[in-house]
Amino acid sequence: MVETYSRSYAQEMDARDDLKQFRDEFYLHNESIYMDGNSLGLMSKRAEKSVHDILDSWKNYGIDGWTKGEHPWYYLSEALGEKMSGLVGGKKDEVIATGSTTVNLHHLVATFYQPAGKRTKILADALTFPSDIYALKAQLRLKGYDESHLVQVESKDGNLLREEDIIDAMTDEIALIVLPSVLYRSGQILDMERITKAAHARGITIGFDLCHSIGSIPHDLHNWGADFAFWCTYKHLNGGPGSVAGLFLHEKHFNVSPGLAGWFSSAKDKQFDMDHTLTSADNAGAFQIGTPHLLSAAPLIGALDLFHEAGIEKVRRKSLAMTDYMMELIDHELEGHGMVICNPVNHAERGGHVYVEHPEAARICKALKLKNVIPDFRTPSGIRLAPVALYNTFEEVYDCVQILKTIMDGELYKQFENVRDVVS
C-alpha cells in the first residue's frame, strides 16, 4: 500500500482523477503552483477564444453584432444567465449576467430594503467581505438611517459563525438579511436552506453573496426559496479579472419593480420603443441597468462551458478530496510550526479552500511566492490555499505543503517583512 504522505500517493490520486483532462484547458505556468483560484481563477483557452469570437463579431458585423453571429450581444446576458443557472440551482429566467458584485448588491438592496414600522434594520455578519458592508451602510444612509440600523452577527472565535446566533438575531426589527454563502476568510459554508426558512418564518426577505461558493459547491436556490443572490465570476468560475457578475432573483419576485432601473431593465420586445415609461422584463433581466460590458462578459462563454462538461457535483467531490489531502499533509508535515487550520473540517461546512493562521503569515506568503507557490494572504494572520478541481493536481498539493515545510524548517520567511503587499 502506498504511504499517504508520499508523492507516489498523490500521483496515484491524479491517475484516478476523472477531471484530469480539464487541466489541459488552462494556461498553466509550469514553474509555479497556483493556489489562489479563490481570488482569481486561471485563464482557460476557451475563455480566450470567446473573447476573440466577440471581437471578431464586432469586426465583421459592426452594429449588427447585436443580433447576428454565434453569440448575439443583445441576448448574451440572458444566455450566460441560463448557463449559470444550474450552478446556483435557479431556473433559467431567474439568473442574469450583469454588473459587478457590489453594483448588484446595491441594486438588490435598493429594491428589497423597504423599511416600515419597527422593521428598519438590515442583518448581516461581522465576518463578511468589507464591500458588502460598505454597500449596506450606503443604502441605509440613502433611506435616512444611520449605521445603528445595521446589525452584524459576531463570531465567537473570529473565523466561524454560529447559525443559531444568526437566527436569534432575526428580530421583528429586521427588514432585510444579506449573508455570505461561504465566508471568504475561513471557507465556512452557511446552511442557506435552514437560514432562509428561518428568515421567511419571521417574514424577512433574505439574499446571499455567492462569490466564494459559485463554481465550487452546488446550490439549490430556487427550491431553498432564497429571495435573491449575487456573485462575481472571476474566482472559481475563471471568468477573468473584472468579468461581468451575476444575480439570482426568485421567480416569486418577477413582478417587483427594479430599484435601479435602466435601459436594459426593459422587456426585450419593448426596449427600442424608446418609451419614457419602463416596461421591465418579467424575469431576472429586469435587474440589468445599462448596456452589457461585452468584452468583460465574453470570457464566460467558454469558461462556463467547462463547468457544463465537468459537472458541479464532480467538481465538488474533487475539491473536497484535495482540501482533505492538504489538511492531512499540513497536520503531518508542519506539526510544531504553529500552523493552525481554521476552516471547518466537516464536508457540509467547508468551501473550496484551506485557511491556515500563523503569526508570520504575511512573510510566509512572500516566501511561498519566492518558491513559486501562489497563495493568498488575509490580514492579519491568514493564509488561504485553494486547490481548484479543474486545473490543480494532488501532486501540486503535495509539493505545496513540502515547500511550506522547507520554508518553516529553515525559517526562510524571516528575510521578509511581516506586512502585506499592496494587493494580497
101 annotated as a binding-site residue = yes
212 annotated as a binding-site residue = yes
379 annotated as a binding-site residue = no
What's the sign of the alpha-carbon dihedral 39, 294, 263, 279?
negative
66 annotated as a binding-site residue = no
129 annotated as a binding-site residue = yes
Residue at 184: amino acid letter: Y
125 annotated as a binding-site residue = no
Q: Which residues pair with 208 in a beta bridge?
A: 179, 229
Taking only Cα atoms into account, the Rg of the chain, rounded to an integer number of angstroms, comes to 22
Cβ neighbours of 45 (radius 10 Å): 13
218 annotated as a binding-site residue = no
219 annotated as a binding-site residue = no
CA–CA dist 338, 343 (Å, integer):
15
**Start-to-end Cα distance in the chain:** 41
Contact yes or no for 228/248 (Cβ under 8 A) = yes
Burial class (CB in 10 A: 0-12, 13-18, 19+), 272: exposed
132 annotated as a binding-site residue = yes
* Residue appearing with cell numbers 446552511: 191
| Annotated binding-site residue numbers | 101-102, 129-132, 209, 212, 234, 263, 291
Residues of each annotated binding site for pyridoxal 5'-phosphate: 101-102, 129-132, 209, 212, 234, 263, 291
